[in-house]
Amino acid sequence: MRVSTRVRYGTRALVDIAEHHGNGPVCLRDIARRQKVSQPYLEQLILLLKAAGLVRSIRGARGGFVLARDPAEISMIEVMTTLGWESEVVDCVGDPGSCSRAGACGMRDFWCRLSDAVSKVVGSTTLADLMQEQAETSNSHCRPGYRRVGC
């Protein structure tokens, strides 16, 4: 299973905004610079996050984006599905009719368990959790067996 660039970049942008939670709006230009994402592409992602009620915009010279809710209240499953992520690792998990073998396929049970495990991790992780992990991880060293947010 691969996570799309849209989901990865959108999540990085949201973590960036969350790291400034309570300190006022974050300018899109600054997010793009820090996250090394093109500003036009980031604008598309922020619009999705705004439409989902995850961020809100503040107008004016010192405007930008802020979280619409506390980071501990924002589930990563909400973020990732907003950005287009699908938890099913293969089509037959979400749509058994997509495969003529689905009813008699032992592999489908495995794919369902795998999809459920991934969804459980994503559903039990909040934006605050990612902020904590980001704070505990230096920019140059990842914990063994894990990769930094946005790696």
**All residues at 6 or more sequence positions from 111 whose CB lies less than 8 Å from its CB, including other chains:** 88, 89, 90, 92, 93
SS3 73: helix
62, 30 contact by CB (below 8 A): no
How far apart (Å, rounded) are the C-alpha atoms in residues 57 and 148?
A: 27
pTM assigned to the model: 0.81
At 15-41, the pLDDT tens digits run 999 999 888 999 999 999 999 999 999
Write down the pLDDT at residue 142: 53
At 76-134, the pLDDT tens digits run 999 999 999 887 777 777 777 777 777 778 788 888 888 899 999 999 999 999 998 88
Confidence of residue 55 (pLDDT cuts 50, 70, 90): very high
Inform me whether the pLDDT recorded for 151 exceeds 50: no
Write down the pLDDT at residue 144: 53
In the chain, the N- to C-terminal Cα span, in Å, equals: 16
Confidence of residue 137 (pLDDT cuts 50, 70, 90): confident
Q: Which domains does the chain have, with CATH numbers?
A: 5-136 (1.10.10.10)
Helices 39-51 and 5-19, axial angle in degrees (round to 10): 80
Locus of tokens 């934006």: 127
SS3 3: coil
Write down the pLDDT at residue 140: 46
Q: In whole numbers, what is the pLDDT of the chain averaged over residues? A: 86
Write down the pLDDT at residue 92: 77
